[in-house]
Amino acid sequence: MPPTKPPATYADIEALPEHVVGEIIDDELYVSPRPRTRHGLVAAAILGDLMNPFHHGRGGPGGWWILPEPELHLGRKVMVPDLAGWRRTRMPDFVDVVGVTLSPDWVCEVLSPSTARLDRIKKLPAYAHHEVGHVWIVDPVLRTLEVLRRHERAWLLVATHADDNRVSVEPFDDIELELARWWPPIPSGERASEQIVAYEPATH
């Protein structure tokens, strides 16, 4: 019988090279490459739309701390979402730490081929377990935004938006977001060779 693998620890993350991201979920170490430029551009665009109205309170209600790529230390889990936000009613004072131990109220994960499976299969249940209120799943290739709200220990799909929609979405529904501002051009080689279009019956 093979020896039992010891649980991953933060020392395993500290030993990783700088060009990767380490996370610990269910005592397993997951190592992902640093995000590519398109991924980073989408995350920056979302952050830019939210910072003034919700973090700074300019043109919106304020009341949030919003951070890019915070390291979350939730129990024995270590996770690094692309964006996360805390209501200031729950975190009155900003904490200057390496790992934030208070669960966010909102998390945004921007999907990439190397991380999409981890984001959906491992991190979503972990966020629900630690009572994150909302999760956005953003796909830069499909140009979609999925809005999830926690219901008990599971996720309720509130809405799915796509392309150039103008939308008001939880938990930032005080303002309207223009999704077209988020999407960088997709190289032609990545576009699907066949597109699904709405069926229109022939008229006679």
pLDDT along the chain (204 residues), means of 10: 82 95 97 92 97 97 98 97 98 95 98 94 97 98 97 94 95 96 78 45 50
pLDDT value for 153: 85
pLDDT value for 4: 80
pLDDT value for 100: 98
Distance, CA of 137 to CA of 44 (rounded, Å): 15
The domain defined by 35-185 folds into tt1808, chain A (3.90.1570)
The answer to pTM > 0.85 is yes
Tell me the domain boundaries of the chain: 35-185
pLDDT value for 203: 53
